[in-house]
Amino acid sequence: MKSLNYLGLLGSLLIIAGGLSPMLHIPIIGEWNYYDIDVALASIVMTLAVLGLIASLINKPGLLRFAGWASLIVVLFTLAAVYFKVNDAFSFIPFKKLAAAAVRVVHYRWTGWMLLILGSVLSIIGGRKTKRII
């Protein structure tokens, strides 16, 4: 295996670890990982991570790069969706200061998000083509 394949392998494993790490902390309810946020998006990201894992093992850089870009797009879409959902979830409260205080109660756990983004970037880097010098 080439060194770039190891980067793709590490990236895919980081995506899997990030998906299983806590991503949100909601009081009383507890910690939420990717599957607690949205099962469909979590399944897509995990499928792309497994696809990247297989691509790095069988030396398919194009497939690895595709899996990295696709997982990065889905993770960033999920982050934006969670941000807007948290800010919109308390819009039923008529007092703006009380609604803002309720929004501040929900905390992001950035470890899981950063593992997902770092894993996607490593998969993209691991899938780039190497130049041959003859």
Q: What pLDDT, on the 0 to 100 scale, is given for residue 1?
A: 64
- Specify the pTM: 0.86
- Of 29 and 116, which is predicted with more confidence? 116
Structure tokens at 72: 């990065």
List b or e across 93-116, with b for residues whose CB sees 16 or more CB atoms inside 10 angstroms.
eeeeeebeebeeebeeeeebbebb
Domain ranges of the chain: 3-126
State the average pLDDT for the chain.
87
The number of angstroms, rounded, from the C-alpha of 5 to the middle of its chain's C-alpha atoms is 20
20-29, 36-45, 49-58, 111-120: segment of lowest average pLDDT? 20-29
